[in-house]
Amino acid sequence: MTTILVIIHIIVCLALVFIVLLQHGKGAGIGAAFGGSSQTVFGSTGAAPFLAKLTAAAAIIFMFTSLGLTFLGQKKDTSIMKGLQDRPATQEAAPAQTPKPPARADKPTSPPAPSPKK
């Protein structure tokens, strides 16, 4: 199910990009006047209403596939609090013992050995 939804999502995503790139911008009127472009394929109004409806349909399908992939990708038993509920209560920690200071090189750590008597 997830694989089919991913394939549909990618196809709709690419189609949406292609449809948006096909549409004319707001300033296309002046460019079309000099270019002599004819829009007789889509009628006298041009492709604008058809492409706008196609864009809306592709965007709706894209939203539904995105939501579907989100819901399918979630794990049902995953929770931040789940690990805390399964763990037994911690016991009081013993007081931390203070570490001994490191031995200094100029001060011997053991008492000096007795000197040999003559």
3-state helix, strand, coil in the chain (%, to 5): 50, 0, 50
Domain count, the chain: 1
Is residue 61 in some structural domain? yes
pLDDT for the residue 7 = 95
Q: Which candidate, 22, 91, 16, places its Cα nearest to that of 58?
A: 16
112 inside domain = no
Q: Could you tell me the residue range of the domain that residue 4 belongs to?
A: 1-26+46-74
pLDDT digits (tens, 9 = 90+) for 1-23: 889 999 999 999 999 999 999 88
- DSSP 8-class letter at 109: S
108 half-sphere exposure, CB direction, 13 A CA radius: 4
Q: Which of 26, 20, 27 is nearest to 56 (CA)?
A: 20
Q: Within a domain: residue 117? A: no
In one-letter notation, the amino acid at residue 87 is R
pTM > 0.75: no
Work out the mean pLDDT of the chain and round it to a whole number.
75
Residue 95 domain-assigned (yes or no): no
Answer whether residue 59 shows pLDDT above 90.
yes
Mean pLDDT computed over 19-39: 66
Look up residue 34 and give its amino acid. F
Task: Judge whether 89 lies within some domain.
Answer: no
